[in-house]
């Protein structure tokens, strides 16, 4: 998957600055930005501040909070000068994105307290697109960004939003700025960065709809794979995630994760859920590894970490893993991770006498 993060930031900023510069000689202080409480001028300053803050988070590798600084425009700076600052802050964010390795994450509060360069790029583009819309609405200017920009945002930080009739219309609806036929008006919203879980020698990195689409189509999903990867099971799971996203039923925390080695940043396999927990709060889990990564305990480490995270939640009471009877290595993995076999004889036998898959379960401790 081509890394277009920095280019998308630059594209969004260039389009916004070009549009608003044509109205730089107008009064921005006395005009509200669309439905916001802020003026057009205050909104423009906010965009510049967010772009610079995101650049600072990535460049400084902030881990616990926002780096404590903010942008202040010189006294007497006009609207044209404010647009220059937006352009400069956008360039700094693009530069930070280009020089930040994919595995690096920095603090962002919602919802999992971190984001990688792709997440910060998507948030930066979202700020530019949405607030340019607000300012343009206040000033009476027509504005519709390129559809690939809205798609970039939706498929990375709005994983729960079902695609609609046009990416820009869908993004406006998802952020309470528009309507879509057959959908309830949005009054509260937040974007969502991917979940990342530590797992010993590995890091489990959540797969976005954008990455899932690329994996399902035969790409690398934006990951650097060990030779032989990704395996067929990972591509199939990515296709399942993509279908759930397109139906609007995808829950990213119960989606798919790529197993990435800490030592070299190489992706070695996939692990995740077959969907959200059922009515009994049970969720099925599955995984696969690149052939050359097997036999080193990676799957066991990853399964233990993901199972521990899931069973600590209030909406999960048990995890299920289904393993073919002739897959002895996988049976050993689930057993080492604490699962116990719950099918007495491997399930029902088929017409030819073959034994069905084996079911293993790991239940949580009673929750108070």
Q: Which of 139, 174, 209 is the last residue of a domain?
A: 174
Residue 22 CB coordination number (10 Å): 10
CA distance 107 to 114: 4
Same domain? 167 vs 207: no
| CA pair distance 259, 198, nearest whole angstrom | 10
Query: Which stretch of DSSP H or E encloses residue 121?
Result: helix 117-139
Same domain, 226 and 147: no
CA distance 153 to 130: 11
Question: Residue 189 domain-assigned?
Answer: no
Residue 57's nearest CA partner among 140, 113, 135, 136 is: 113
The total domain count for the chain is 2
Q: Are residues 158 and 236 in the same domain?
A: no
Residue 64 lies in a domain: yes
What is the pTM assigned to this prediction? 0.94
pLDDT of residue 354: 58
pLDDT at 368: 59
| Same domain, yes or no: 121 and 252 | no
Residue 188 within any structural domain of the chain: no
CA pair distance 67, 99, nearest whole angstrom? 18
* Range(s) of the domain holding residue 17: 5-174
One domain for residues 247 and 146: no
Report whether 204 contacts 257 (CB < 8 A).
yes
Does the residue 118 lie in any domain? yes
Kindly state whether residue 163 falls inside one of the protein's structural domains: yes
CA distance 304 to 142: 52
Q: How far apart are CA 89 and CA 135, in angstroms?
A: 18
- Over its length of 368 residues, how does the chain's per-residue pLDDT go in tens digits? 989 999 999 999 999 999 999 999 999 999 999 999 999 999 999 999 999 999 999 999 999 999 999 999 999 999 999 999 999 999 999 999 999 999 999 999 989 999 999 999 999 999 999 999 999 999 999 999 999 999 999 999 999 999 999 999 999 999 999 999 999 999 999 999 999 999 999 999 999 999 999 999 999 999 999 999 899 999 999 999 999 999 999 999 999 999 999 999 999 999 999 999 999 999 999 999 999 999 999 999 999 999 999 999 999 999 999 999 999 999 999 999 999 999 854 444 444 555 789 999 999 876 65
185 in a domain, yes or no?
Answer: no
pLDDT of residue 356: 86
Instruction: Evaluate whether residue 46 is within a structural domain.
Output: yes
Q: What is the pLDDT of residue 365?
A: 73
Domain of 243, CATH number, reads 3.40.630.30
């Amino acid at each position: 998957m081509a890394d277009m993060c920095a280019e998308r930031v630059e594209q969004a900023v260039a389009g916004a600055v070009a549009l608003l510069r044509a109205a730089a000689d107008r009064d921005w202080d006395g005009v509200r930005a669309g439905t916001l409480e802020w003026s057009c001028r205050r909104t423009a300053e906010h965009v510049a501040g967010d772009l610079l803050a995101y650049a600072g988070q990535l460049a400084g590798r902030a881990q616990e909070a926002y780096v404590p600084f903010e942008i202040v425009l010189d006294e007497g700076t006009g609207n044209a000068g404010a647009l220059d600052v937006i352009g400069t802050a956008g360039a700094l964010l693009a530069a930070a994105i280009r020089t930040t390795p994919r595995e690096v994450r920095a603090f962002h509060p919602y919802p999992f307290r971190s984001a990688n360069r792709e997440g910060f790029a998507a948030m930066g583009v979202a700020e530019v697109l949405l607030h340019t819309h607000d300012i343009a609405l206040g000033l009476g200017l027509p504005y519709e960004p390129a559809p690939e920009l809205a798609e970039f945002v939706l498929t990375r930080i709005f994983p729960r939003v079902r695609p609609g009739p046009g990416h820009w219309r869908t993004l406006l609806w998802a952020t309470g700025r528009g309507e879509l036929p057959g959908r309830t008006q949005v009054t509260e919203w937040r974007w969502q960065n991917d979940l990342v879980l530590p797992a010993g020698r590995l890091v489990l990195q959540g797969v976005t709809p954008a990455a899932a689409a690329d994996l399902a189509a035969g790409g690398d999903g934006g990951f650097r794979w060990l030779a032989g990867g990704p395996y067929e099971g990972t591509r199939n799971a990515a296709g399942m995630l993509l279908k759930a996203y397109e139906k609007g039923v995808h829950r990213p925390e119960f989606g798919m994760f790529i197993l990435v080695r800490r030592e070299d940043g190489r992706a070695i396999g996939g692990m995740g859920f077959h969907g959200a927990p059922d009515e009994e709060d049970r969720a099925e889990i599955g995984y696969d590894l690149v052939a050359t990564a097997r036999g080193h305990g990676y799957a066991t480490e990853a399964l233990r970490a993901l199972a521990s995270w899931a069973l600590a939640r209030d909406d999960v009471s048990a995890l299920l893993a289904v393993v073919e009877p002739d897959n002895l290595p996988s049976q050993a993995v689930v057993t080492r991770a604490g699962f116990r076999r719950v099918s007495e004889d491997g399930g029902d036998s088929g017409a030819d006498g073959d034994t069905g898959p084996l079911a293993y379960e790991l239940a949580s401790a009673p929750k108070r």
